[in-house]
Chain A
Amino acid sequence: MVSIFDIIGPVMVGPSSSHTAGATKLGNIARRVCTDKIRIVDFYLHGSFAETFRGHGTDRALLGGVLGMNAADERIRDSFKYARESGIEVAFHTADLGDVHPNTVKIVMSCADGSAGELTGASIGGGEVRVSSINNTHIEFSGQYPTIITVHRDKPGIVARVSSIFANHSVNIAFLKVFRQSRGSEASMVIETDQEVTRSMLDEIASVPEIVKIMFVDV
């Protein structure tokens, strides 16, 4: 059911829900892949993003998102200035990312602790997005719900173990997807919830022995 505030709304920085608001959201999700302060960020723009990014402010929006801004933040216009002030190196590239949605971007980040992060996603219209890869592993989610992404060792019982934590906290799982590269190696769960997720719940999930790391997205 559509809310009247999706009709008279969303409130956003223009000019385009797909090229500006959605781009901000992708940047904002991407920054959560990093475990430390971002030092260098490279954006690889595909298709319509590559062709019209300057005129839509897609570059400022993506960068604003990486800096933690949301789609209604008027500082997006000056995000390059804020990046400079924070000492973040920024580069935009046009790229052919293959047979993907026309508004796709690949975001590659280097962090202060020496680690790297990657996120690929598309802005699919109306400010909505679809993430298709994190750290070069195929994964899928929309960011419409509070979302937990795990990296864990692919062993029997892990899904039950983690989902029981949700049950204990009375948090309903709206969608649950499991991804892996190969049997017995590292795998990922994407868990989208109907209720807010608390810090203590995240800590509990992170303390499950098979869990290598978790990431939380709430935009």
Chain B
Amino acid sequence: MYQFSRARELLEICDKRNLKLPDAVILSEQEEWGRSRDEIWNEMDSRLGIMENSVEKGLEPDLKSIGGLIGGNAAKLNSYLQHGSLGGKIINQAVAYALAVTEYNACMGKIVAAPTAGSSGILPGILIALKEEKEYSREQVINAMFVAAGIGKIIASNATLSGAAGGCQAECGAASAMAAASAAYLGGGNTSVCMEAAAIALKGLLGLVCDPVAGLVEVPCSKRNATSTANAIICADMALAGINSFIPFDEVVDAMFRIGNMMSSDLRETARGGCAVTPTALAFTKTIR
């Protein structure tokens, strides 16, 4: 009754039953897995707690990733943005938090894959920065996580969330779409505004390749989480301003999947193309093999 695999189905469920987007997502989970609303809510609450912890730990300045390429960048941006910045407080705070989670991930810290470990910074970056700066309640933020989960489920059902299968567009692209929808929800957008935000965000990252230096989840992954975070906020603002994607979210997801299938395997997590085969990357790779 509440099952959906497409955005248009989810929109219809919300519309017909007069449900808010997070409640529709929770009901579908209750129905499919036979769990109570409380149980599902508490599990999401605990995942928010793990996200908050990973942001806090990732902001420590003396972090060093096990691959040796990143660590401390979140701390740098976090201290810089306290004294003004070009892009403004919220965007930079969200980006600093996104960097923090990915750097903590690269140090073997405990994170929530959202939807993957490689793209784990984007959603917590946005949610926690908005929670602090806009003073959203914990309850609102948890609801926003269900919105993100609904978007991610649509992508997983019709395309892929794996960099090895679809390139970085399937990881950071998907995470950015999820985060954009959750930000639009927090900003007061209705269900279709959330879908427009997700569509614009994913569209903006279509074609993004997965080209990790030395195969590690460090460069360019961490900073791609950062740019995908900024992308998500900007797209949420556009959708809240009433701008439509023109291409509906479902069709953008299909396009993402087709692009992934057209992508050379050299550009899908194998470290045989893109940034991974630049002279700098190859020189580094030699030093660790």
Residues of A in contact with B (beta carbons under 8 Å apart): 1-18, 20-21, 48, 51-52, 54-57, 60, 72, 74, 76-77, 125-126
Contact = CB atoms under 8 A, between A and B. Distances in A.
Given A14-B117, A15-B117, A8 B110 contact: no
A77 B108 contact: yes
B140 to A, nearest CB: 16
A126 B161 CA distance: 9
Give the bracket for the number of chain B residues in contact with chain A: 35 or more
B289 A12 contact: no
Contact of A8 (B108, B109, B123): B123
Nearest to B155: A7
Nearest to B67: A55
B207 to A, nearest CB: 22
Given A10-B112, A17-B113, A57-B108, 13 more contacts: A1-B3, A3-B29, A4-B29, A4-B152, A7-B178, A14-B107, A14-B110, A14-B111, A16-B118, A17-B117, A20-B117, A51-B289, A56-B215
B216 interface: yes
A1 B157 CA distance: 8
Among A8, A13, A125, residue most surrounded by chain B Cβ atoms (within 10 Å)? A8
Nearest to A124: B164
Which of B113, B217, B218 has the most C-beta atoms of chain A within 10 angstroms of its own C-beta?
B113
A3 B115 CA distance: 12
Given A8-B112, A56-B216, A14 B105 contact: yes
B43 interface: yes
Contacts of B29: 3-4
B32 A74 contact: no
Interface string B208-249: 000000111110000000000000000000000000000000
A17 B217 CA distance: 10
A15 B115 contact: no
Given A4-B25, A4-B153, A56-B216, A15 B114 contact: no
**Among B44, B47, B120, B217, residue most surrounded by chain A Cβ atoms (within 10 Å):** B217
B152 A8 contact: yes
Interface string B18-55: 00000001000100110000001001100100100000
Contact of B110 (A3, A5, A7, A72): A72
Contacts of A56: 66-67, 215-217
Contacts of A16: 117-118, 217
Contact of B114 (A8, A13, A48, A77): A8
Contacts of A1: 3, 32
Contacts of A3: 29, 32-33
A11 B106 contact: no
Nearest to B120: A14
B176 interface: no
A10 B113 contact: yes
Interface in B156-202: 156-157, 161-162, 164, 178
Contacts of A51: 215, 289
A8 B47 contact: yes
A49 to B, nearest CB: 10
A7 B152 contact: yes
A2 B157 contact: yes
Contact of B288 (A4, A8, A14, A54): A54
A14 B217 contact: yes
A126 B156 CA distance: 12
Contacts of A48: 215
Contact of A11 (B68, B110, B289): B110
